[in-house]
Chain A
Amino acid sequence: ADARNGQATIGPVNARFVPEGLQPGRISPWLGARVRNAEGQLGMRGELAWTPAGLTSSATLAATDLGFTADAVTVSGLTGTVFFDSLTPPDTPANQRLTADAVTAGVPLENVEIVFDVDSPEGGAPVLRLARAGGTLAGGDVFVRDAELRLGAKTNRVTVQVRDVSMSKLVGLLEVEGLRADGTLAGEIPLRFGPGGLQIDRGKLAAVDNGRIQLEFGAAQDTLAGQGQSVGLMVRALQDFHYDVLSLTVTRPKTGNLALGITMQGNNPDVLDGYPFKFNIDLTGDLEPILAALQTGRRLTTDLLQRALENRGAGDVQIQ
Chain B
Amino acid sequence: ASLDELRRQGVIAERWDGYVEVRVSNPPPEAKQIVERVNAERRELYRKRAEQQGVSPEAVAKIYAPKILEKAPVGTYFKKPDGSYVRK
Decide yes or no whether B59 CB sits under 8 A from chain A. Answer: yes
Are A298 and B54 interface neighbours, CB within 8 A?
Answer: yes
- B55, CB-defined interface residue at 8 Å: yes
A7 to B83, alpha carbons, bound, how many Å? Answer: 37
Query: Interface on chain A toward B: helix, strand, loop, or mixed SS?
Result: helix
Q: Which of A268-295 contact B (CB under 8 A)?
A: 288-290, 292-293, 295
Determine how close the nearest CB of chain A comes to the CB of B79; give it in whole angstroms: 10
Contacts of A33 in B (CB 8 A): 83
- What B residues does A290 contact at CB under 8 A? 55
State A295–B58 Cα separation when bound (angstroms): 12
Residues of A contacting B83 with CB < 8 Å?
Answer: 33
Cα(A71)–Cα(B50), bound, Å = 16
Does A296 touch B at the CB level, under 8 Å? yes
Complex formed: what's the CA distance from A33 to B56 in Å? 18
List B47-88 residues whose CB lies under 8 Å from chain A.
50, 54-56, 58-59, 83
**Are A72 and B58 within 8 A (Cβ)?**
yes
Closest chain B residue to A195, Cβ basis: B82
A296 to B50, CA, bound (A): 10
Query: In this complex, what residue of A is CB-closest to B17?
Result: A33
Instruction: Considering the complex, give the chain A residue whose CB is closest to the CB of B58.
Output: A292
Interface pair A292/B54, CB less than 8 Å apart: no
CA distance A292 to B55 in the complex (A): 6
A8 to B54, CA, bound (A): 53
In the bound complex, residues from chain A placing their C-beta under 8 Å from that of B56 are 72, 289, 292-293, 295-296
With a cutoff of 8 Å between Cβ atoms, the chain B residues found around residue A71 in the complex are 58
CA distance A293 to B58 in the complex (A): 10
Distance between Cα atoms of A33 and B54 in the complex (Å): 25
- Using Cβ atoms and an 8 Å threshold, which residues of chain A touch B58? 71-72, 292
B26 CB to nearest A CB, Å: 16
Q: Which residues of B contact A295 (CB under 8 A)?
A: 56
CB 8 Å contact bits of B4-47 with A (1 = contact, 0 = none)? 00000000000000000000000000000000000000000000
**Closest 5 CB pairs between A and B?**
A292-B56, A289-B59, A289-B55, A298-B54, A293-B55
* 22 examples of A-B residue contacts, CB within 8 angstroms: A33-B83, A71-B58, A72-B56, A72-B58, A288-B59, A289-B55, A289-B56, A289-B59, A290-B55, A292-B55, A292-B56, A292-B58, A292-B59, A293-B54, A293-B55, A293-B56, A293-B59, A295-B56, A296-B50, A296-B56, A298-B54, A298-B55
